[in-house]
Amino acid sequence: MIHQADKGVGTSLWPRLGIYAILIVISIIFLLPFFVILMTALKPMAEIRSGASIFAFPMHPSFDAFSKAWSTACSGLSCNGLSEGFWNSVRIVVPATALSVLAGAVSGYALAMWPFRGTKTIMVLMMLVAFIPYQVILYPIVRIFSTLSLYNSLPGIVLIHVIFGLPVMTLIFRNYYLGLPQELIKAARIDGAGFWRIFASIILPMSPGILAVATMMQFTAIWNDYLLGLIFAGRENLPMTVQLNNIVHVAMGEVEYNVNMAATLLTALPPLLLYLLSGRYFVSGVTAGAVKG
């Protein structure tokens, strides 16, 4: 009996070690670019010009590149760093994420809990729209927004993110709500609760996980967007990603690789912090079936 137990432990150990090895290799592959960016951002330009390996630790680490990237790096004719673009991104991402998640939750709830004639047709159309590259319809949207006086404005860029995020948000919430107990909804209807009362009192309290998943997805997508912000935001509302591109591709003077890498890290930091703060809810939402097909 003891011999068989030892044999069972030994045979199960090797597959587990193989899984760990694969995970470690994948982690190294994904973390290696981040490591290079961080090391470069901490090195002075003199050390970078010396020809040291990009994987080498900085001999004289400094945060001066981060300070310059945030406050004095030049983006076009402006030399205010990324700080201006950061607050522009905040003004865009907060209302756009809140509105798209709320709209997706309401529409997904309606399609899942209040079916009507044409529900399947709407779902098929939403699936088709969700997978259409928005680049192919940018020109007509620009024309429509220009007619409505929304082009090159903060409300315009917020609205465009809500529009493009709605199909995916609706599909995610609908799939999640289909798994909720239908008896609760039926009982609430019998008690006289209407559409909005059920949504506010029953559906939302049961949705912290899926709300975290949807918020994380939309926040990341909107924050990392470059093309829509460049086209629809206007010169006064350019998001952080557009200013990052302008800083990195500056055509005058010395190319400051440490400042470029620092600016890249600063731009990527908000979605990372959001995930770290809401990671537990994000994982629970995914494991609950929030993103199942």
What is the domain partition of the chain in residue ranges? Answer: 2-62, 71-287
Q: Which residue is associated with the tokens 């506010």?
A: 200
Contact in structure between 242 and 229 (CB atoms under 8 Å): yes
Distance CA 36, CA 28 (A): 12
Distance CA 66, CA 82 (A): 10
Both tokens of 235, joined, read: 């010169």
Distance CA 78, CA 86 (A): 14
Residue 97 has pLDDT above 90, yes or no: yes
> pLDDT tens digits for 230-243?
999 988 899 999 99
> pLDDT tens digits for 183-218?
888 888 888 888 898 899 889 988 888 898 899 999
Distance CA 174, CA 107 (A): 8
Contact in structure between 185 and 113 (CB atoms under 8 Å): yes
With a CB cutoff of 8 Å and minimum separation 6, the contacts of 69 are: 81, 82, 247, 259, 260, 262, 263, 266
Residue 140 has pLDDT above 70, yes or no: yes
What's the mean pLDDT when you consider all of the chain? 85
**CA-based nearest residue to 208, from 293, 129, 281:** 281
Instruction: Look at residue 286 in the predicted model and tell me its pLDDT.
Output: 57
Q: Which residue is associated with the tokens 């620009």?
A: 142
Instruction: Look at residue 291 in the predicted model and tell me its pLDDT.
Output: 43
> pLDDT tens digits for 165-181?
999 999 899 988 988 88
Residue 152 has pLDDT above 80, yes or no: yes
With a CB cutoff of 8 Å and minimum separation 6, the contacts of 196 are: none
Domain at 71-287: CATH code: 1.10.3720.10
> What totals of helices (H) and strands (E) does the chain contain, helices first?
13, 0
Instruction: Look at residue 4 in the predicted model and tell me its pLDDT.
Output: 52
Q: What is the pTM of this model?
A: 0.83
**CA-based nearest residue to 88, from 223, 227, 228, 240:** 240
Instruction: Look at residue 278 in the predicted model and tell me its pLDDT.
Output: 74
